[in-house]
Structure 1
């Protein structure tokens, strides 16, 4: 049983676009590589053919995983997000109690996470530690570098 993941419209479209590209361009590229390797003769001793067949298997595995991900994806209506508590798709402004650094993160599904864009996964230690908290709450989060203590300053959409 696969787990259901929640996505924004943008995130779900990105997954669908990647799947379409793998099904069309990716499969065509692999088929071309296999055909070229076949033309080189004896398949029993043809490393290029073996490599192309292995690449084909990996491509098909990736396609199957994306298809499963999309079939279990749910589109989240961002207008229904409760802004009194941190939840998926909330944008949270936090302050590190130790360093006084202020950071802003948007909590998203694991597949949409992109730290450079300020999007962290709800599955990450920080994401898990922030879920369910309200403005003014202090969250103590266990991260690889030790314990992180942050105060929730603002929750928005």
Structure 2
């Protein structure tokens, strides 16, 4: 069983989602199924089939979350230090073409959220950054073409 590296915040977010799926969504969907059943003939009952589909998706998500939480290896980023990029690091980069600054935290796959500045340890950018230090140049091939960055800062918060 492969472990999944994760920050404490990422683990807590998955636990919260699991509780929501189990304690809020599951009872709500069961109620929908019960109501739809009371409408009679199930073979032509779109509400019933939609509720059963929702139930299937919710139960699948619960199983997925339970698996990820069971395999989680929580890493306390606040106890990490050093000047080398590794899991948990918050890295400030400057795009060498546009001079635009980007700040990314390298996190586990289940908690990655690029819109909020968290990229997966398995992403091409994170793989290129791991092992680099402040001042290093990094080139990454992205779907939009090659990008060149300079590492401005590495910190653990």
TM-score by length of structure 1 reads 0.91
Q: Secondary structure at the match of 2:104?
A: strand
Please list the CA deviations of residues 30-82 of structure 1 after superposition, one character each: whole Å capped at 9, or x if unmatched: 11011011101122222221221121111110100010011011110224424
- 2 CA distance for matches of 1:117 and 1:149? 21
Q: Secondary structure at the match of 2:140?
A: strand
Structure 1 alignment gaps of length 5 or more: none
Q: Which residue of 2 aligns with 1:92?
A: 91
- 2 CA distance for matches of 1:42 and 1:62? 29
The number of aligned residues is: 156
TM-score by length of structure 2 reads 0.91
- What is the CA-CA distance between 1:9 and the residue it aligns to? 1.7
Cα RMSD (Å) of the superposition?
Answer: 1.5
Q: Secondary structure at the match of 1:43?
A: coil
Q: How does 1:36-115 map to 2 (within 5 A)?
A: 36-115=35-114
- 1 CA distance for matches of 2:101 and 2:82? 19
Q: Which residue of 2 aligns with 1:141?
A: 140
- 2 CA distance for matches of 1:148 and 1:67? 37
Q: Where in structure 1 do 4 or more consecutive aligned residues deviate above 6 Å?
A: none
